[in-house]
C-alpha cells in the first residue's frame, strides 16, 4: 500500500530564511507526486507537481526516487508562505487514481 | 469562474439526523471525490466517482453514501450521523481520473459537527 510521510507537523522559520518541508513516500509503482497548500480558511490548492518540474511562488520540489523523497524547498521564506502544506502521491488501485495525502506540515514564517 | 462548490460551509446536527452535503462543479470534470480532514490524520478519501453512475469506496466509507446522477453533482449523504463523523469535509474534482494533467480542484470545505 502507498504511504506518504511528512515527518514535521510544525515548522517555524524567520522571514528570509531557507525552508524545506520534507516528504517521503512508499509506493511500488511509478509515483506521481504533488504538493498542495492550504492557506488559513481557504481551500486546498495545487502548488506544484513533480512532472512539471516547475517553480511556483519560489517553491521547487525534486523527486528523488533513490531516497523516495519529494521535499519542498524555498530559498527565502516570506510571511505569506505561512500555511498548511500537504504532500500527496497519486497511485492507481483498480480504476481509482487515488491521491494519498501526508498528514501535513504547518509552516509559520515569522517576521 | 471555474470552481467546486460545497454547501453548507458549516453544519451542526444531532446524532441520527440524516443530512446531505452537496457538491457541484462547473468544469465538466469526470472524476469527483470526497475527503475528510482530521487533525493529525490529514486527508482521507471517503468515496470517489469516475463518471456518472459510477461510484466506489475510498479508505473510510463507513457511515457515508454518495450518488452521481449528473456529471456536475456529487452529494455526500450521512444517513445516521454519529459524533465520530465530526470533521472537515472536502469535495474535489478533476478532468479525468488519470493522466498527469488532472490535478484535483477542491471545494471550500464543509465543517460538520455532530453532537
Q: Which residues of B touch A32 (CB under 8 A)?
A: 100
Q: Give pLDDT, residue A56.
A: 83
Q: Are A86 and B43 an interchain contact pair (Cβ–Cβ within 8 Å)?
A: yes
Q: Are A109 and A77 in contact (CB under 8 A)?
A: yes
Residue B78: closest CA among B93, B91, B62 = B62
Q: Which residues of A touch B33 (CB under 8 A)?
A: 98-99
Residue of A42, A92, A99 with shortest CB distance to B104: A99
Does B26 or A52 have the greater pLDDT score? Answer: B26
Q: Give pLDDT, residue B99.
A: 52
Question: Given a cut of 80, is residue A92 above it in pLDDT?
Answer: no
Question: Given a cut of 90, is residue B64 above it in pLDDT?
Answer: yes
Q: Are B98 and A86 an interchain contact pair (Cβ–Cβ within 8 Å)?
A: no
- In this prediction, residue B89 has a pLDDT band, given cuts at 50, 70 and 90, of very high
Query: What is the C-alpha to C-alpha distance for residues B110 and B21, in angstroms, rounded to an integer?
Result: 8
Query: What is the C-alpha to C-alpha distance for residues A60 and A9, in angstroms, rounded to an integer?
Result: 20
Q: Are B40 and B48 in contact (CB under 8 A)?
A: no
| Residues β-bridged to residue B79 | none
Q: Helix or strand or coil: residue B84?
A: helix
Q: Give pLDDT, residue A30.
A: 79
Q: Helix or strand or coil: residue A81?
A: helix
Q: Give pLDDT, residue B40.
A: 83
CA torsion angle A84 B28 B18 B35 (round to 10): -30
Query: What is the C-alpha to C-alpha distance for residues A28 and B45, in angstroms, rounded to an integer?
Result: 20
Question: Given a cut of 70, is residue A95 above it in pLDDT?
Answer: no
Residue A57: closest CA among A42, A40, A37, A33 = A37
A40/B contact by beta carbon, under 8 A: no
Q: Which chain B residue has its CA at the smallest distance from A5's CA? A: B42
* Arithmetic mean of pLDDT, B18-45: 93
Q: Are A77 and A87 in contact (CB under 8 A)?
A: no
List the single range of A77-86, B75-84, B98-107 with lowest mean pLDDT.
B98-107
Residue of B44, B97, B105 with shortest CB distance to A96: B97
Q: Give pLDDT, residue A12.
A: 97
pLDDT one-digit tens code per residue, A31-87: 889 999 999 878 889 898 887 777 888 999 988 989 999 999 999 999 999 999 999
Q: C-alpha cell of A87? A: 504532500
Query: What is the C-alpha to C-alpha distance for residues B40 and B43, in angstroms, rounded to an integer?
Result: 9
Question: Given a cut of 70, is residue A97 above it in pLDDT?
Answer: no
Q: C-alpha cell of A30? A: 511509478
A99, A102, A105: best to mutate for the B interface, most B CBs within 10 A? A99
B50/A contact by beta carbon, under 8 A: yes
Q: Give pLDDT, residue A78.
A: 96
B39/A contact by beta carbon, under 8 A: no
Q: Helix or strand or coil: residue A48?
A: strand
Q: Give pLDDT, residue B41.
A: 87
Amino acid at each position: 500500500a502507498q504511504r506518504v510521510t511528512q515527518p514535521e507537523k510544525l515548522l517555524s522559520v524567520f522571514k528570509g530564511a531557507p525552508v524545506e518541508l520534507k516528504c517521503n513516500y512508499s509506493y511500488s509503482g511509478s509515483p506521481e507526486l504533488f504538493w498542495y497548500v492550504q492557506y488559513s480558511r481557504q481551500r486546498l490548492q495545487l502548488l506544484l507537481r513533480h512532472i512539471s518540474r516547475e517553480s511556483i511562488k519560489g517553491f521547487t520540489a525534486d523527486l528523488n526516487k533513490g531516497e523516495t523523497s519529494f521535499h519542498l524547498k524555498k530559498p527565502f521564506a516570506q510571511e505569506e508562505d505561512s500555511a498548511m502544506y500537504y504532500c500527496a502521491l497519486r497511485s492507481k488501485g483498480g480504476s481509482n487514481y487515488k491521491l494519498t495525502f501526508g498528514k501535513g506540515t504547518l509552516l509559520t514564517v515569522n517576521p | 469562474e471555474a470552481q467546486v462548490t460545497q454547501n453548507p460551509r458549516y453544519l451542526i446536527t444531532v446524532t441520527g439526523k440524516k443530512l446531505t452535503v452537496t457538491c457541484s462543479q462547473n468544469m465538466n470534470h469526470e472524476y469527483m471525490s470526497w475527503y475528510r480532514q482530521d487533525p493529525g490524520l490529514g486527508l482521507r478519501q471517503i468515496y470517489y466517482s469516475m463518471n456518472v453512475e459510477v461510484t466506489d469506496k475510498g479508505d473510510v466509507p463507513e457511515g457515508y453514501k454518495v450518488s452521481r446522477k449528473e456529471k456536475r453533482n456529487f452529494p455526500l449523504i450521512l444517513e445516521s450521523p454519529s459524533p465520530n463523523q465530526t470533521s472537515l469535509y472536502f469535495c474535489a474534482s478533476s478532468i479525468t481520473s488519470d493522466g498527469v494533467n488532472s490535478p484535483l480542484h477542491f471545494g471550500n470545505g464543509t465543517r460538520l459537527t455532530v453532537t
